[in-house]
Amino acid sequence: MTRPKRIDLSFSLYHILSRTNSGDTAFQDNKDRSKFLEYVSRYTQLFDYRIHAWCLMSTHFHLFLESDQVPQLSEFMRRLLTAYTVYYNRRHRRHGHLFQGRFKSYIVDKSDYFLSLSRYIHLNPRETERPQDPFRYQGSSLRYYIKGGEPNFLHT
């Protein structure tokens, strides 16, 4: 049985989610998070996506992004996850897949769900085994909404 075709539409909002294999850690420190965001920046420019929010947890990540006229979500994510996995495996002397299966992508209704999803992503650090203060969490875009100084790929 084949898996369903991914919905990839122009000018649409997506909630992207991907988890690691068997609970492996994907972001061990700020250097890992910075490198992941460097790749996000590179591929959002290449594929003309806009990031509205992100949260990088130790075993998974959330991206809230918007496509432009020519959507290429699968290729964007393939390059992002491959580049980061190669970096991570070299740095941490491991091999194989870092993220499990297909990434999840959900289309978001601009009028009804935009603020709710942004809030959900930004408050994600509170929902872990060891809850963290979302306003101080370094792996989230929330601090840029509060203090400014956002990177060029984040659209606040």
Q: Is 50 helix (H, G, I), strand (E, B) or coil?
A: strand
Residue 132's pLDDT band, with cuts at 50, 70 and 90, is confident
Residue 8's pLDDT is what?
A: 83
Percent of the chain with pLDDT strictly greater than 70: 99
- Is this model's pTM higher than 0.85 or not? yes
Helix/strand/coil percent split, the chain, to 5: 40, 20, 40
Q: How do the domains of the chain map onto residue ranges?
A: 13-147
Report phi then psi at 84, rounded to 5: -70, -40
| Mean pLDDT, residues 8-12 taken together | 88
pLDDT band at 111; cut points 50, 70, 90: confident
Q: What is the pLDDT of residue 2?
A: 74
Question: Whose structure tokens read 């992508």?
Answer: 105
CB 122 within 8 Å of CB 64: no
- State how far the Cα of 151 lies from the Cα of 112, in Å rounded to an integer: 26
Q: Residue 74 CA to chain centroid, in angstroms?
A: 13
Least confident of 11-15, 91-95, 107-111, 146-150: 107-111
Per the CATH hierarchy, to which homologous superfamily does domain 13-147 belong? Transposase IS200-like (3.30.70.1290)
Burial of 63 (0-12, 13-18, 19+ CB in 10 A): buried
Q: How far apart are CA 112 and CA 96, in angstroms?
A: 39
**What is the per-residue pLDDT across 22-57, written as a single tens digit (0 to 9) for each?**
889 999 999 999 999 999 999 999 999 999 999 999
Query: Between β-strands 50-56 and 104-108, what pairing exists: parallel, antiparallel or unpaired?
Result: unpaired
